[in-house]
Structure 1
Amino acid sequence: MKSGTMKAFKNQSNLLPLIIMLSIALLTLYYYPLPFSPPTETQLPLTSPIHIISYSPPISSSAPSPTSAEEEEASETPCDYSNGKWISDKRGPLYNGTTCATIKDGQNCITHGRPDKGYLYWRWKPSKCHLPRFEPQTFLQLIKNKHLAFVGDSLARNQLESLLCMLATVSIPKLVYTDGEDNKFRRWHFPSHNANISVYWSPFLVQGIEKSSAGPNYNKLYLDHVDERWARNLVQIDLIVLSIGHWFLHPAVYFEVGSVFGCHYCHGLNVSQIGFYPALRKALRTTLYAIIERKGAVDVVLTTFSPLHFEGDWDKAGACPKTEPYREGEREVEGLDAEMRKIEIEEVEVAKRKGKKFKGFRVETLDVTKLSLMRPDGHPGPYMYYFPFANGVQERVQNDCVHWCLPGPVDTWNEIFLENMKKWKNRLRSEE
């Protein structure tokens, strides 16, 4: 850059080329600031209230800033983050698997020996606008003095842990509450901003009894009763992120108004097979209506269905073998993925209409279905376990082609989440 600048300076009679190049450099620093490295903390045991240890930024290089046309378009029209493509990004993630202590063991692909690292160097490029890099300080400022709750299945937890890792690069949270099997109910506190972030395990959002080895091989869902394990805390929650879908694919019997409503894959029972789509719709409607009626003024985000990427048997090597994203147009959202996403988007629109009479109620979808579909390389696969091939390739090896490596594509979900929160904040300012 220096030699090009000097040459341009010598060959021109004015300073215009130099000014242009300096402007580009400033834009690059604005959109892609250098990583911040907080002081190193000593790692503490699981029972300690401090769960994040230290931050060591990955090797990165500068990346091109958005064009002026992109910036102008983004400022004039709302950005559709759901459509776009994955492009190479040499900067890498904000954190890594050895420096963030809140990563669930099964998603810590780096420390579990995943040999390829290319999946870490991609960023999502929306078709008609720019998606900025995640800004931890901005996010913390937006949740200052608030309680953010992730409610749902293990994908909700996956997204939560991604967010905690990115926020911990500037502010270390304290684990202040834990309960339930496998610590499925947890809360962290950020003293720097007096903010709380919680996770509530609720794979159906409504009341349900999960199948077990000791009981029937199907779930029981009570579609007209919200799950009180999280709903009873609505009064203290300011922002809710909901995530469900995958647990509805399992065999289940559905109840409504005290009687059996139908079932999914319940062979041997004298119950009407209705599939899981009607149950998903009813569960979402019950949940969103309960939030509206009990809380009113609250922000709600529904993360859409995240496709799985199994190729062949789940318990054999190579179940999700891809090491790069799909190219643009190579895969489309269709079938089950499209229907799940459609139901979720439709129910959010229904809730918007119902919630209009409540001042302060807002609900949006965080549409991640397509960008997730395009990342078959982002799953732990066999590296859900520590060095699974240390003793050679076994005949049977479990694979996780549903959840996401951390760091990984799920970090992008939170980049879009932040942009939506910023949009809400700016809209509120304009209404004052």
Structure 2
Amino acid sequence: MGITSQYFKPQPHYSSLAKKLLTLSLFALLPLTLIHFYFYHVPLTQSLPNQVPQNEHIIVSSQAQEERSNETPCDYTDGKWVRDKSGPLYNGTSCSTIKEGQNCISHGRPDVGFLYWRWKPKRCALPKFEPTTFLRLLKDKHLAFIGDSMARNQLESLLCLLSTVSTLDLVYRNGDDNKFRRWYIPSHNINVSIYWSPFLVKGIEKSNTGFNHNRLYLDSVDDRWASDLDGMNMIVLSVGHWFLHPAVYFEREVVLGCHYCPGLNHTEIGFYDVLRKALKTTLEAVLDRRSAMDVIVTTFSPSHFEGEWDKAGACPKKKPFTEGEKELQPMDAEMRRIEMEEVEAAKKKASQLSVAGLRLEALDVTKLSWMRPDGHPGPYMYPFPFANGIPERVQNDCVHWCLPGPTDTWNAILLEFMKRWEAQSSSRRDG
């Protein structure tokens, strides 16, 4: 099934990928020292708590709630990281699709212990990712990752996992920093795409030459991916971090307010309700399609800055947190809660509309990712940053994830969803 929009047109062969503008992209995510400003919140339509109580229990995922069997339903959110001597299925040399900034081992990260952990749910097993099974279940389909750089991080993890058993052909590339790309897997007639859309809804991103805030139009989805929706069978939505940046919000071309916009004559309304509205608009657009599709929302992935982003040691941990060692931060928990609630609301609406074949799921990775402070590139977003000693300033990426790394677990859980869906479909056919 082809992609016909202007963002996926055949492009000439590129001899090599230019180095990404890592500094500019990181500046878009790293000023988390402003995070205290972000907790200020005035609702758009209703009051939301600024914090989630620290003793709030991570709720059982929707897939566990729906599952019906004689066994205890699997809650993939409740578990711990345990040592795994077998290590990852790929490495920074064997996989060619890793974004340079996440290729930590090739960039000289000296400690390799972060490669040898696996997520162990408390009451069930999470099998290691099975590339052949994933390819079989996705045969003849188009899978699209839609969102920000976390969507890309998860996509590139999946491509590395699949490349261990099959050839992946890059057939489209477009946009700055190749933000729109598509791979074809000839062995199973599969298309895998990435669509850059950091808000899911229509938005104009801030720039160095124009206004210094984002502009979001919360009542309309981003046409860059929505125009291709009919050609997709499965989508993975992943956003969050770009909502932390200064922005002005619109609905029906009317300004609703802004987030951290000193100097502009707009009401400060924070970003929590804005995230909720963007997700609601997005999922309603999917429901309006009224046809079969698998929809995954990957929940918010926490960062782990412990110091200044441009000083050595900003994310210094060398092993995972143990259960209860450090509480999930209130902002991370609130972002996750909003995403979980909007998925559940969309599932109820889909049931009321009797949309046949539409399956929605929250891929709840917030807690298991929070427990991996060791999984970020840190200064190894660049090659060998300490080759000439420790510089006064060194950029750190404590937001994205090394590959191999924790995002491989996200895809292992995604595969378990797909296996469960297949089992349910077989049961209905047999019944």
User: Normalization by structure 2: what TM-score?
Assistant: 0.83
Specify the alignment match of 1:410 in structure 2: 407
Indicate which of 382, 385, 389 corresponds to 1:385. Answer: 382
CA distance in 2, matches of 1:190, 1:46: 21
CA distance in 2, matches of 1:75, 1:243: 33
CA distance in 2, matches of 1:74, 1:335: 34
Tell me whether 1:152 sits opposite 2:147 in the alignment: yes
Structure 2 SS opposite 1:164: helix
Map of 1:114-133 to 2, 5 A cutoff? 114-133=109-128
Specify the alignment match of 1:419 in structure 2: 416
Tell me whether 1:364 sits opposite 2:351 in the alignment: no
CA distance in 1, matches of 2:106, 2:411: 23
Contact 1:74 1:129 in 2 (8 A): no
Indicate which of 390, 394, 411 corresponds to 2:391. Answer: 394
CA distance in 1, matches of 2:424, 2:310: 49
Specify the alignment match of 1:296 in structure 2: 291
> One-letter code of the match for 2:416?
E
Contact 1:112 1:387 in 2 (8 A): yes
CA distance in 2, matches of 1:75, 1:222: 46
CA distance in 2, matches of 1:160, 1:197: 8
Contact 1:74 1:130 in 2 (8 A): no
The Cα shift of 1:112 comes to: 0.2
1:30-87: CA deviation from partner (whole Å, max 9, x where unpaired): xxxxxxxxxxxxxx9448xxxxxxxxxxxxxxxxxxxxxxxxx997132110110000
> One-letter code of the match for 2:173?
T
CA distance in 1, matches of 2:167, 2:290: 30
Contact 2:290 2:355 in 1 (8 A): no
CA distance in 2, matches of 1:267, 1:74: 55
Map of 1:26-425 to 2, 5 A cutoff? 45-46=15-16, 76-356=71-351, 357-425=354-422
> One-letter code of the match for 1:127?
K
CA distance in 1, matches of 2:255, 2:310: 35
Q: What is the aligned-residue identity percentage? A: 68
> One-letter code of the match for 1:167?
L
1:208-251: CA deviation from partner (whole Å, max 9, x where unpaired): 00001111111000000100000100010000000000000000
Q: Any runs of at least 4 consecutive aligned residues in structure 1 with deviations exceeding 6 A, and if so which? A: none
CA distance in 1, matches of 2:328, 2:384: 33
CA distance in 2, matches of 1:295, 1:123: 38
CA distance in 2, matches of 1:74, 1:373: 30
CA distance in 2, matches of 1:327, 1:45: 45
Structure 1 SS opposite 2:362: strand
The Cα shift of 1:117 comes to: 0.3
The structure number with the bigger radius of gyration is 1
Q: Which runs of 5+ in 1 are unaligned?
A: 1-43, 48-72
Contact 1:326 1:375 in 2 (8 A): yes
Structure 2 SS opposite 1:380: coil
Query: Which protein, 1 or 2, shows the higher relative CO under an 8 Å CA cutoff with sep ≥ 6?
Result: 2
CA distance in 2, matches of 1:216, 1:75: 57
The Cα shift of 1:295 comes to: 5.0
CA distance in 1, matches of 2:96, 2:385: 21
CA distance in 2, matches of 1:296, 1:180: 29
Structure 1 SS opposite 2:345: helix
> One-letter code of the match for 1:396?
R
Contact 1:235 1:295 in 2 (8 A): no
CA distance in 2, matches of 1:429, 1:332: 41
Contact 1:144 1:195 in 2 (8 A): yes
User: Normalization by structure 1: what TM-score?
Assistant: 0.83
Residues 327 and 225 (structure 1), Cα distance of their counterparts in 2 relative to 1, 3 Å cut: same
The Cα shift of 1:353 comes to: 1.3
Contact 1:332 1:370 in 2 (8 A): no
Q: Which runs of 5+ in 2 are unaligned?
A: 1-13, 18-67
> One-letter code of the match for 1:358?
V
CA distance in 1, matches of 2:404, 2:106: 11
CA distance in 1, matches of 2:70, 2:310: 48
- How many residues align? The count is 364
CA distance in 2, matches of 1:316, 1:100: 30
Let me know the Cα RMSD of the aligned residues: 1.3
CA distance in 2, matches of 1:167, 1:123: 18
Contact 1:74 1:128 in 2 (8 A): no
The Cα shift of 1:300 comes to: 0.2
1:354-405: CA deviation from partner (whole Å, max 9, x where unpaired): 1122111110100000000000000000000011111111000000000000
The Cα shift of 1:199 comes to: 0.4
The Cα shift of 1:428 comes to: 1.1
Contact 2:72 2:123 in 1 (8 A): no
CA distance in 2, matches of 1:431, 1:344: 29
Specify the alignment match of 1:39 in structure 2: none
CA distance in 2, matches of 1:210, 1:78: 42
CA distance in 2, matches of 1:341, 1:83: 15
